[in-house]
Amino acid sequence: MDAPTRPHAGPSDLAARSLRQVWHPCTQMKQQAKLPLVALSHGAGPWLVDTDGERYLDAISSWWVNLFGHANPRINAALVDQLGRLEHAMLAGFTHEPVVALAERLSALTGSVLGHAFFASDGASAVEIALKMSFHAWRNQGHSDKREFVCVRNGYHGETLGALAVTDVALFRDAYDPLLRHAHVVASPDARLARDGETPIDVARRAAAELDALLTQREGRVAAVIVEPLVQCAAGMAMHDPEYLRLVRALCDRHDAHLIADEIAVGCGRTGTFFASEQAGVWPDLLTLSKGISGGYLPLSLVLSRDAIYNAFYDDDTARGFLHSHSYTGNPLACRAALATLDIFADDDVLARNAVRAARLTQALAPLADDPRVRHFRHRGMIWAFDAMLPEAPGAAGAFAKRFYTEARARGVLLRPIGATVYLMPPYVLDDGTVDWLAQQTLAAFDTTMTHDMEVPA
């Protein structure tokens, strides 16, 4: 579990310089000034090391992107090789081996049901592409009335305007609501919503029934339904039964709407299968990938589509084409990192090894499942989560999240609760000793946080 040592930069004013010049993401900068930034020097495997030589276990994979550790030698070698060949070229009118090979291999992983990869750089961009593809495909097929979208309550799909329109997280979207084209919001299949006597499958069926009613009411007007398969991550790792995906697929077929699977956070093995949709035995019409696809190295996202959608744009008329572009679409370096990532999956039997690793961490975290201060301990694949029992007071969840983050960091672990929800989403490289240590530190941080007087805003 040891991180390789390296001479550190020594005391530094890097954090202070950052506060002066960098506008940090998802951050109220006035509050950040009260909680010191971690000034990083380097990373090695699952560890991040700061400029003072302190190390932190990256238990959330640097916002869910890092799959095989920092400074992974195999991904590094692939990038070094690619740097000597081609760093970038526009993909309009040109192509190159990394982008073609990556598109081929991802399509093969869907059994060739999905293909025609369209590349971008970040998750929100991929969602924008999928939404535009759906609407435009219907228009090209003579169904211009299909211009409405359906999303799931508490779902998150990104923070550009199109992606925000199908996002139902008030903290992110409320300020920009006047700018957005509103989507229909239907019930979440979150298993935590079970009524007395209900199973997760019952919750899934109840949520699907609400979707069926909406699609019936808006018959002929809905272009697509967008879902996060199996886990709604930003909703506090809300997990649902695969039955929901099966039912949504059937409903989209019955009502002639596209199904968009947002696998940006849940793809690339995170839920136990390479694609989360596999666990339901269905494929969407459009599938978005980002985050882990490049191993956490470089910005890369893409949309995979069914032939029917691709063919709706295939025409002599330029205006019927999908005239969307990004300057760095299909960047060779990012694609080469993704190919190296897929090589590791194939060569190291990663999914099977993750199942063993996950069983050990689940067992090590078992005391939380029986802790009376915990609700809804849950797990799927390489994602764990539990909800802290907190007082019914405004600001309690935020105070808990800040305190837990501070306590975990003091113990050398990077964990960032989502309100009252603590989650773990570590990279796929933890050995047994590190797994056990992570569980111990998580338990200790939770216990200390729950016994500490947290400052709750008045």
Residues annotated in a binding site: 63, 123-124, 156, 262, 291, 325-327, 416
Give the β-pairing of 184-186 and 383-388. Answer: unpaired
Q: Is the separation of the CB atoms in 107 and 100 below 8 Å?
A: no
Rounded distance, CA 85 to CA 429, Å? 30
Residues forming the annotated binding site for pyridoxal 5'-phosphate?
A: 123-124, 262, 326-327
d(CA 67, CA 65): 6
The distance between the two most distant Cα atoms of the chain, rounded to a whole number of Å, is 68
- Strands 383-388 and 374-380, how do they pair? antiparallel
How distant, in Å, are the alpha carbons of 60, 90, 401, 416, 439 from that of 63?
A: 6, 29, 16, 9, 19
DSSP string, 320-358: GS-----TTTT-HHHHHHHHHHHHHHHHTTHHHHHHHHH
Residue located via tokens 């978005």: 288
Alpha-carbon span 363 to 435, nearest angstrom:
10
Cβ pair 445, 415 in contact under 8 A: yes
Write the burial class of residue 428 (CB in 10 Å: 0-12 exposed, 13-18 middle, 19+ buried).
buried
From the CB of residue 367, how many other CB atoms can be counted at a distance below 10 Å? 13
Binding residues for substrate: 63, 156, 291, 325, 416
Question: Within 10 Å of residue 199's Cβ, how many Cβ atoms?
Answer: 12
DSSP reduced 3-state for 41? strand
Q: What share of the chain is helix, strand, coil (3-state, %, to 5)?
A: 45, 15, 40
Task: Read off the amino acid at residue 406.
Answer: T
Q: Which helix (H) or strand (E) holds 119?
A: strand 115-120
Cβ of 197: how many Cβ atoms within 10 Å?
6
Task: Answer for the pair 240, 206: CB distance below 8 angstroms, yes or no.
Answer: no
Which helix H or strand E contains 421, and what residues bound it?
A: strand 421-424
User: Rounded to an integer, what distance in angstroms lies between the CA atom of residue 237 and that of residue 424?
Assistant: 10
State the Cα–Cα distance between residues 212 and 115, nearest whole angstrom: 28
- Per residue in 106-140, is it b (16+ CB within 10 Å) or e — as a string? bbebbeebbbbbbbbbbbbbbbbbbbebbbbbbbb
Give the Cα separation of 266 and 231 in Å (integer). Answer: 7
Quote the tokens at residue 211. 């979707």
